[in-house]
Structure 1
Amino acid sequence: MAAVFIHHTDTPNDYACADVPRTLRNLYTGQTRDQRWGDLGYNFLVDKCGTIYEGRAGGADRPVIGSHTIGFNQGTAGIAAIGTFGKGTPVPAAMEHAIAALAAWKLSLRGIDPTSKVRLTSTNDKSRYAKGTSAAFDAISGHRDGYATDCPGEALFARLPAIRAMAAGLQGRSPRASSGAELPTALQSLHRGSQ
């Protein structure tokens, strides 16, 4: 996995974290019945309390191909923030930290620095780049970087530099960093189940 694309679900923000499973069921129904994707498009979803959910089935530590960024699903993971993050909408700190920790871990599986640039090749003319075109992306990019959309919203998109820096710190790539990127606690049980 060479890169992570950050999304928002474009759903209400006034949810209680205990009610997130219902939101996930609604998203699943919309994407499987209405979009006919066979599963959730996102590899992971994160709520405002910082809880990480596995989206598309197949194993949290495996290179499961999602359906999240047209033209750039192969070799990437899609992480969706549950909510809508238009201009001026605060992004909860717990959500930001969970996204950074998850991205740090996924990118560390391939030794990728979250603050680096990566090259991806478009597989679909409907992306921002013609099929077969190679383009440079941040290792942690917004959905809009690869596809013509407002996703992940102005507020969350503006936080991506901070999320990249936090992820790099969690990988041990800054002076004040921890000793490496480990599987986020919220995903440890998923990882054990996939072994």
Structure 2
Amino acid sequence: MTRLPRNGACCPDRQPAPPPDDADQLLSRRRLLGGAAALGGALVTGAAGLALPGAAAAAVQQPRLHDRAAWRARRPTHAIDVLDRAPDRIVVHHTATANAKDLSVAHAYDLSRTIQGWHMDNNDWWDIGQQLTISRGGHVMEGRSRTLSAIRTGRHVVGAHVADENSHTIGIENEGLYTKRTPTDELLASLVETMAWLCDTYLLDPYQAIVGHRDYNATECPGEVLYDMLPELRDRVAAAMGQRPDPKRTVRRPHRDGPFPPSRGRFDHGPAV
């Protein structure tokens, strides 16, 4: 598989996965609700704190999203790649930073700006690497440029968060270090809501789509505690989508127990490009 350059651009070399077995049921449910749910409309908060117009309501309750203008993101240095197809995996990460006690939205905005600055100035990337970021206060923020517009139209913004796999994966960075500690209830609730929204929008089976960074690369990310919570989180996402939890549908992947390569510095949670 083609390795992505450091800036996060790519030439796609992977075909999208076929829809899950229950895709027809999801489509039927959307038609009953008005048919517009495939666009995955969300309540998006802009810089002024106002709800921005989006697509019609989806079948799944959607998270409150803070767009790039809200946290005053820098412009990317190059055009961001948007593929005319959906991702087939949702990759859960942790930021490998301190487990902050500040749960405010102001802290969440500062977190996004700090990560973007590190990715662009230290990693020499075109923009922040991940598509979405969730703070310990449960605030969900748009990451890489054009992410929200791509999700609404069923397309995929290529990020920089999983080495060799960015052309088909959407990444969610969760603030904190979860090697021994458990994420806050606020973060977990928003993570479930966000993944249910993505699965519903992209017609993904949560038991197949939701994975951890270590399922692809040699890294501790998203931390032993959060990684071990993924089966429970898949069940919660399925329930949020109106499905009966069925862990037997989970795709088995090699569980990497370590030893893991040491972190190379701030915000380093393993191979990303």
TM-score of the aligned structures, taking structure 1 as reference length:
0.74
RMSD (Å) for aligned C-alpha atoms: 1.4
Instruction: Tell me by how many angstroms 1:41 deviates.
Output: 0.7
AA matched with 2:224: E
CA distance in 1, matches of 2:196, 2:178: 22
Cα 1:23/1:110, change in 2 over 3 Å: closer
Identify the match of residue 164 of structure 1 among 229, 234, 244: 234
Partner of 1:16: 102
**Unpaired segments ≥5 residues, structure 2:** 1-86, 246-273
**Are 1:5 and 2:97 counterparts?**
no
- Percent identity, aligned pairs only? 30
Instruction: Tell me by how many angstroms 1:78 deviates.
Output: 0.1
Instruction: Tell me by how many angstroms 1:37 deviates.
Output: 1.2
CA contact (8 A) 1:97 1:163 kept: no
Instruction: Tell me by how many angstroms 1:86 deviates.
Output: 1.0
**Are 1:33 and 2:121 counterparts?**
yes
Larger radius of gyration: 2
TM-score of the aligned structures, taking structure 2 as reference length:
0.53
Instruction: Tell me by how many angstroms 1:94 deviates.
Output: 1.7
Identify the match of residue 42 of structure 1 among 108, 118, 130: 130
**Are 1:78 and 2:164 counterparts?**
no
Give CA-to-partner distance per residue, 1:129-150, whole Å, 9 cap, x none: xxxxxxxxxx111001111110
CA distance in 2, matches of 1:112, 1:171: 11
Identify the match of residue 219 of structure 2 among 149, 153, 167: 149
Partner of 1:109: 201
Partner of 1:122: none
**Which runs of 4 or more aligned residues in structure 1 lie more than 6 Å from their structure 2 counterparts after TM superposition?**
none
**Unpaired segments ≥5 residues, structure 1:** 117-138, 176-195
1:14 is paired with a residue whose SS is coil
Aligned residue-pair number: 152
CA contact (8 A) 2:91 2:213 kept: yes
Give CA-to-partner distance per residue, 1:68-92, whole Å, 9 cap, x none: 10111112100010111112x0221
Give CA-to-partner distance per residue, 1:14-62, whole Å, 9 cap, x none: 2412322222211111101111111111110111221101111113214
